Amino acid sequence: MNGGSRTSLSPEKTLEIVLESIGELVDYELAVVLMLEGWDKLSVKKTRGPLAGSRLSSYSIALSQRPDLVDLLQVGSPHLFGAEEDHIDTYAEVLDLPQGHSCLASPLMLEGKPIGLLTLDHRSCGVFSSEIVRFIGAISRLIAVALAQAEEAGVLKEEAGRLAEERNRLLGADAEVFKNLAGNSPAWLEVLDSLKLVAATDSPVLLQGETGTGKEEAARLLHRLSARANQPFVAVNCSALPPALAESELFGH
C-alpha cells in the first residue's frame, strides 16, 4: 500500500461506493441515504437502484409529519417494516410501491446520535431476512463514520482553498501597494518594514531624505497601509508655503 499520498473521497462518492457494495450483497430495487437537517427534516443525499429517479433526488421529509421515523431515529436500530404495521410508505409522495412491499430502514448513528437514515426497498415482499437486517445495521454505523470523515475532509479542503485564495489576494494587494517602491537591498527592506510598522499607528511621521529619494512615494505607501487609506491623500509642496503660513497649513488652523 502506498502511504505517501491519500485522496479523500467526497461524501457523494463515498455514498456511491457504499450503495454499490451493498447492492452486491443485498437484492434491493431502491437504496436511499437521507441526511438529517436540523431536527425536523430528512433530505435525500444519494439514491441507487432501478426505482431511483430524478423526483427522489430533491425529496425531503418533514419529521413533524412522520412520528414513526422520529421514533426510529431515536431508537437507533434497523427496522424491517411488516405488512401488518400501520406505516406510511417513506416515498409515497413520489413512488407508487405495492402494498406489503419489502421496506427496511436503518438510522445512521454517530456517537449515539442520528445523522441520517438508510432505506432499502423492493417491490416484492419478504426479500429482506433477519440476517440482512443485522448486516444493514452494522453497515449503517460504518456509513455514518465514513460520511463524517468525508465531510470533515471536505470542510478542511474548502478551508485550505479559502486560505490559499486569501493568501494570493493579500500577496497581490501587497504587490500593488509596493509596486512603486521596488528594491530588495537589506537597507531598503528595513525601510519598508519600518513603514509598515508606523502605518499601523496614529502618530505623525516625519520623512527625511535627499531630493529624488522617494519621500513622497513613501508617504503615499504610509497612507495606503494606514486606517485612513479610504480617505484622500493630499500632497503639499512645503517649499512653496510662506513661512508664516506653514505651521497653520500643515498642522491645522
Specify if 166 maps to a domain. Answer: no
Q: Among the listed ranges 35-39, 57-61, 147-151, 229-233, which one has the minimum average pLDDT value?
A: 147-151
Q: Tell me, yes or no, whether 107 and 198 share the same domain.
A: no
Tell me the C-alpha distance between 191 and 229, whole Å: 20
Question: What size, in residues, is the chain?
Answer: 253
Phi-psi label, residue 100: left if phi above 0, alpha if psi -120 to 50, beta otherwise: left
The range of the structural domain enclosing residue 37 comes to 11-156
- Amino acid 160: pLDDT: 66
Q: Tell me, yes or no, whether 40 and 97 share the same domain.
A: yes
Specify if 170 maps to a domain. Answer: no
Query: How many domains does the structure of the chain reveal?
Result: 2
Q: Tell me, yes or no, whether 148 and 45 share the same domain.
A: yes
Specify if 18 maps to a domain. Answer: yes
- Amino acid 124: pLDDT: 92
Mean pLDDT of 114-121: 95
Q: Is 110 helix (H, G, I), strand (E, B) or coil?
A: strand
Model confidence at 180, pLDDT cuts 50, 70, 90, reads: low
Model confidence at 159, pLDDT cuts 50, 70, 90, reads: low
Query: pTM of the entire structure?
Result: 0.59
In this prediction, what percent of the chain has a pLDDT beyond 90? 32
Q: Tell me, yes or no, whether 41 and 84 share the same domain.
A: yes
Residue 247 has pLDDT above 80, yes or no: no
Q: Tell me, yes or no, whether 98 and 207 share the same domain.
A: no
- Amino acid 205: pLDDT: 82
Residue 233: φ, ψ to 5°: -95, 120
CA torsion, ordered 217, 183, 178, 180, to nearest 10 deg: 50
Nearest to 131 by CA among 80, 87, 82, 81: 80
